[in-house]
A and B are shown apart, each in its own frame.
Chain A
Amino acid sequence: MTGNAAMPEGPVPARPFAIEARGLVKRFDGFTAVDGVDLSVPEGAVYGILGPNGAGKTTTLRMLLGIIDPDEGYRRILGAERPHDVAHAIGYLPEERGLYPAMKATEAIAFVGALRGLPLKEGRRRAHELLEQHGLGYAANRQIRQLSKGMAQQVQILGTLVHKPRLVVFDEPFSGLDALNQGKLERMMRGLAEQGTTVIFSTHVISHAERLCDDVAIIAGGKVPFAGPVDVARDRIPAQVRLETHSGDGPWRAALPADARRDGKTDGGAFWYFPLPETGIEPLLRALIEGEAGILSLSIERAGLHDAFVAIAGEAAARALEEENPEEMGR
């Protein structure tokens, strides 16, 4: 690793970090796939890396795991600067799933454990246990090629856990699984975190991250425009107000924000949609009541992570394009 970026000194975090990365850069044939990624993943967290396809998620994870070395930047995984030094404490499910087709399920799990330093005999014993626990005991002696794609994926997921890692990295773990197994995997990830295992996963399906994660990092164009708690990400987008009035028009309309949008009708009344004003809802309510708008209903909806993701990643995309080609963007 080319560690030319030193870790910044600062206050000791309340929870130690399982992963710390600063300024990670990776170029392929002159193309910058990852451009200065910073990440801090606390131990025991479920951490999501979100990003559109080709944003640099997999490359970032590969750098964190030592599969490839960054061209610039610094990483520390479970306190080690060389990820292979702590490989025995890490489990990894790559985006491109793969197992030896002729291997039996038990052997496949034990083999992945053996790669992480777990003795083969113990690996076989745990593999049997895991398969039984997850309702796959009947497939223990079946070859991988005899399993369905989803089942083979579940076997591989169990392989990432057989050596009881402290950090588990899943790259797009939900793709290829049906809805039932996706739910099962979500429960498994929560269970891991409850036992103190750090779980980090990449996805472009935001709903999983919203349900599972304490913190997320959004990657777009090889950069991280946002990293932090899910709530903070959601607060980047103003909450949306949905107002239903009896009256369709009147002097009270001046109190509505300029970007309020009217939609639908109810016997002369109307629905109005607009972002929550910075001044809050109370002054607006007062003006509406005084103006006799006839409020039938009013709700404030907090932005979802999906909206936050789209907004943040979209902004980042626009910025990156402007940096790459200011003239073109200027037009």
Chain B
Amino acid sequence: MNTAGQTGAQTGRLSVLAAAWVVARRDFVAILFSRSFFFFLLGPLFPVIVAVLAGSVGSHVDQMAAQPAVGIVMTSADADAVVQARDSLSERLGTGLPGVVVLKRLEPGEVYDPAQAFAGRQANIAAILSGTPQAPVLTGPKGQIEGWSGGIAMIAAQAVAGPLAPWPDVALRTTATSNANDRAGRLRTAQTAQMLLFLLTMMLAGMVLSNLVEEKGNKIIEVLAAAIPMEAVFLGKLFAMLAVSLVGIAVWGGIGITLYLAAGSAVPHLPVPAVGWPLLIALGVIYFAMAYLLLGSVFLSIGSMATTVREVQTLSMPVTMLQLMIFFLASYAMTQPGTGIELFSVFFPFSSPFAMLARAAQDPALWPHAAAVLGQGVCVLLLVRVGAGIFRKRVMKSGQAGAKRKSHRARVQRHAPDVSGVAAQNV
């Protein structure tokens, strides 16, 4: 047998980074050419399909449902005056006024309880207008009539006043935007960026967790742990998935840009973020990487503690919930610039990428981003170390190690070999 031969030739000790590179390269290639990557690429399609379907169904339902209207129970003259006033005002004010339908034309002096008008009427009558234009009475559910009272008062006043007074034409001079528009637009951009970041991070952190559990299932983890430091295994896995996700983002980005160019002016104009689009995109990629690395390292630590998929699901659920809360925190903090809560979400490692990305959309200062990325990087390294430590401490137990032997019989079994037939062998 001539297998090993000249020992140790052409090999040398790998540094942590070189070892991480070996793991990352294997994982990257394996994932990229797997079916799961194909489904990963399709991933964002599902929320879009659901949103489109939900929007379309919602719109259909809206169209099917008649708009609620106010039923009029007045004398003929008053009812006509109210209807005419409503139509005239509506022409000028748009759709803000409730629709009106004459339900009953009362004879002069006739007494009628407006509540009766609801019985047996069409479902879209939400309130009844009775009395006179000078003293209108609106009958209906509290929330409904309170919302309509202003509009009904205006209609009644116009019915009393008669034809509309001539209105001066307003000259319109347009500008590209206003301060209020800018702020609102940037807020929307920040919200969108945060949402994208959150969805991507959750999707990827879950994938890295499955990857580690699969590794434990394949039982190759011990081969890795014997050859290279666990920190290198963790780093390799994290960065492999990051690289995979960047490929995914490039694919999605490419498709998005193509669709944007194809759609041309049909796409709504997106508000320009405070740092500008190129920087926001660059920071988006950086913060995505940091958010993913932070969450991924936590999930890897969880994966290192768990031995089955069920255990992983149980352990990762609280972290997912926590991440959801952190996302809500960052979203809320975005609307409260300069407050304590915003500062907290900026400094707290897990919410920091979200909060800082929102900042980039709203505030042009760049130095806070450098500081934040540095801080987040340190946290990633710490978490990787902790995760690797937990792994080495908790996972590599063999056999029944960890389970205390309580019974005498169990102790005997552990200490002694099978002695059956010893006597026979000894003679």
Q: A interface vs B, CB < 8 Å?
A: 28-31, 33, 51-55, 58-59, 62, 65-69, 84-90, 92, 94-103, 111-119, 122, 130, 133, 156, 158-159, 161, 163-166, 168, 187-188, 190-192, 195-197, 204, 220-221, 237, 240, 261, 263, 273, 275, 303-304, 306-307, 309-311, 313-314, 316-318, 320-321, 324-325, 328
The complex places the Cα of A243 from the Cα of B405 at a distance, in Å, of 45
**B22:A114 contact, CB within 8 angstroms:** yes
Minimum CB–CB distance from B395 to chain A (whole Å) comes to 9
* A31-B402, A197-B4 known; A263 vs B427 contact (CB < 8 Å): yes
- State the main secondary structure of chain A at its contact with B: mixed
* A28-B397, A100-B220, A115-B22 known; A192 vs B4 contact (CB < 8 Å): yes
**B396:A68 contact, CB within 8 angstroms:** yes
**A58:B422 contact, CB within 8 angstroms:** no
**B10-18, B105-113, B262-270, B303-311 - interface stretch:** B10-18
A-B contact pairs, 27 of them (CB 8 A): A28-B401, A52-B417, A62-B396, A67-B222, A84-B13, A92-B223, A96-B222, A100-B30, A102-B34, A115-B14, A115-B228, A116-B227, A117-B18, A118-B11, A161-B4, A164-B8, A164-B9, A165-B7, A168-B4, A190-B1, A195-B2, A261-B427, A303-B426, A307-B426, A314-B417, A317-B415, A324-B411
**A98:B1 contact, CB within 8 angstroms:** no
The complex places the Cα of A187 from the Cα of B2 at a distance, in Å, of 10
* A117-B13, A191-B1 known; A197 vs B7 contact (CB < 8 Å): yes
CB within 8 A of A29: which of B6, B404, B427? B404
Interface-centre pick from B12, B18, B226 (highest chain A CB count, 10 A): B226
**B427:A87 contact, CB within 8 angstroms:** no
Indicate whether B5 reaches chain A with its CB closer than 8 angstroms: yes
Minimum CB–CB distance from A132 to chain B (whole Å) comes to 12
CB within 8 A of A54: which of B3, B226, B408, B414? B414
Indicate whether B224 reaches chain A with its CB closer than 8 angstroms: yes
Indicate whether B19 reaches chain A with its CB closer than 8 angstroms: yes
* A168-B4, A325-B408 known; A28 vs B399 contact (CB < 8 Å): no
Q: Which residues of A contact B14 (CB under 8 A)?
A: 87-88, 115-117
**B414:A240 contact, CB within 8 angstroms:** no
**A67:B3 contact, CB within 8 angstroms:** no
**B4:A165 contact, CB within 8 angstroms:** yes
CB within 8 A of A65: which of B226, B399, B419? B226
**B3:A59 contact, CB within 8 angstroms:** no
- Give me 9 other A-B pairs in contact (C-beta within 8 A), A84-B229, A87-B14, A195-B2 excluded: A28-B401, A28-B402, A65-B226, A67-B222, A117-B18, A220-B416, A220-B417, A240-B427, A313-B415
* A99-B218, A117-B12 known; A58 vs B417 contact (CB < 8 Å): no
Minimum CB–CB distance from A207 to chain B (whole Å) comes to 13
**B226:A98 contact, CB within 8 angstroms:** no
**A310:B404 contact, CB within 8 angstroms:** no
Chain A residue with Cβ nearest B422: A310
